[in-house]
Every structure is written in C-alpha cells, then in structure tokens.
Amino acid sequence: MRHLLVLAALGSAALFNAAPASAEWSFSSGPVPNAFIQTNNATLELQCDRIRFAPAGYEDSQDILSKRGLSLRFMSDGQTEAAAFQLGDANAMIEMVDNYPVEIRLNDMSDYNFILDQIAQNAALNMSMIDQDVTYGIFDLKGSGRAVKSLRASCGGSAQSAAASTPEAPEGVVYCGGGAVQRVIEYGLLSQPDGQWDAIVTVNGDTLRAMTAYSYFGNAQPPAGFVVALLGEDRSEFLVFEQNGRNWLEFGDYTYEQCN
C-alpha cells in the first residue's frame, strides 16, 4: 500500500482553522487493550487491530458509511499537513457498531502501523470527508505517543494478539435450528485468507466469505462462552460459543445447537 506523505513547506496554507479539541490521551489494558481520547463531543479509540471513531453527531457516522471512506490528515504543528491516509473499501472495512461509532478495520496491518506511527509523532489529527475540506473531528495528539507505545506493547505488535489469547474456534461443528426456516450452519477458518476474509460460512448449502472478530464486543465483557464472531460479506453476523462441552451459535433471533 502506498502511503501519501506530504512534505511540510514554509508558508504552506492552513488546511483548517478550527483548533484541535483539548483532551488527554489514555490507555486501558483490558479486557480489550485500547488507546483513546475523548473530547466533549467526539471519541477516538485505537485497538490492536481496528479504529473506532464516534463523531459529534449520528448523521456524521451515517455520512461516513454512505461515502464509504474517511480521510486521516496528520498535522505536524496543528496547521501543516505532514502525512495523510485515505480509508476506503480498497483498504479497509468500514461499518457502524453499537448503533453509533464507526469501526474501521484495515486489510493490511502495515497500513495500520503507518497510521499509529503518524498519530504518535504528530501534533493533531484531522478526520475529514474524502476529497473535501469537511471535518468530522480534530484531535490533539499530545500524549498519544505514550498511549500508542503502551497499546503496541500490550498487543504484542500484532493485530493477531487478540485472537491468540482466545480459545480456538471449534471448526467442524454443525449447528442446526431456526424458526419457520430451519437452517444448518457450519464454518471453517481459511489457512490463506482472501484479503480481509479469513473464514467461510455455509448456510443450507450456500457459502459466503466472512471475517473473524475476536473482540466483537469491544470494551464490554463478552457473554460467557463467547469464542468468535463471523462477519459475513453480506453483513450477516454469526456468534460462536463453546462452554462446558456445549457448542452453539447465535444468528439473528435464534440459537443454533450442535447437531453432529
């Protein structure tokens, strides 16, 4: 992935007039490690393998989703753009979670490391509309270096660290159940992921690609027995559970029990 680097130049024009919101960067070690900053009207959270951004208004979240993109502009002194990164369908999965925040998962971990590097070493971050000077939020990056360092140490430097401490997903299990429409569901993890898709799910013989999400519940305590969430390319969601010898899966309004 080619990163856009913009060299600072004397006399460069200011890209925005608003000052970054004043707040302190913090780090939380668990259960999901994250570095975050919360202002009066917006929140930015960095996890091991994803970004969560809650802008000032719900309509801003909807706007980001509808445009399928977000521009990250890193300011070296609050005025001069030192680097930028364009998020979109080509390099990330962007969706709304918990009915409000925008969650961004990069397809390539090197892209995420680039973003973390820029956050740690610059003065401000302007999160704006793709190809337009319309700002969703500006964050002061003072103190972000320490928070990002703690995040990386806790994550072990890899987006896979969250999955490493999670019980292995019970592949080979077949789940049966449903309401008026009875379903037989099974899934498998791919040894060679297809981009962001690292699993497949089969429902009544029809197969779709899916993405695993071991930190599906974010900072909230996951339900007992939770193993992994499978996020389908058609935006379906399958939650896999295993506890005390029982295997089950939740899809929609129904619980599917092991039937093999």
Of 24-28, 186-190, 236-240, which has the strongest mean pLDDT? 236-240
For the chain, what is the mean pLDDT?
81
Average pLDDT over residues 155-172: 47
pLDDT score at 72: 92
Average pLDDT over residues 119-126: 91
When pLDDT is cut at 50, 70 and 90, the band that residue 46 belongs to is very high
Q: Are residues 94 and 157 in the same domain?
A: yes
* Model confidence, pTM: 0.56
3-state secondary structure of 113: helix
- Estimate the share of the chain in helix, then strand, then coil, as percent rounded to the nearest 5: 15, 45, 40
Q: Are residues 152 and 183 in the same domain?
A: no
Structural domains in the chain (count): 2
Q: Are residues 27 and 103 in the same domain?
A: yes
Q: Are residues 97 and 80 in the same domain?
A: yes
pLDDT at 13 exceeding the cut of 80: no
Q: Which domain holds residue 242?
A: 166-258
Q: Are residues 69 and 132 in the same domain?
A: yes
Last residue of a domain, one of 163, 192, 211: 163
Q: Are residues 154 and 189 in the same domain?
A: no
Last residue of a domain, one of 102, 128, 163: 163
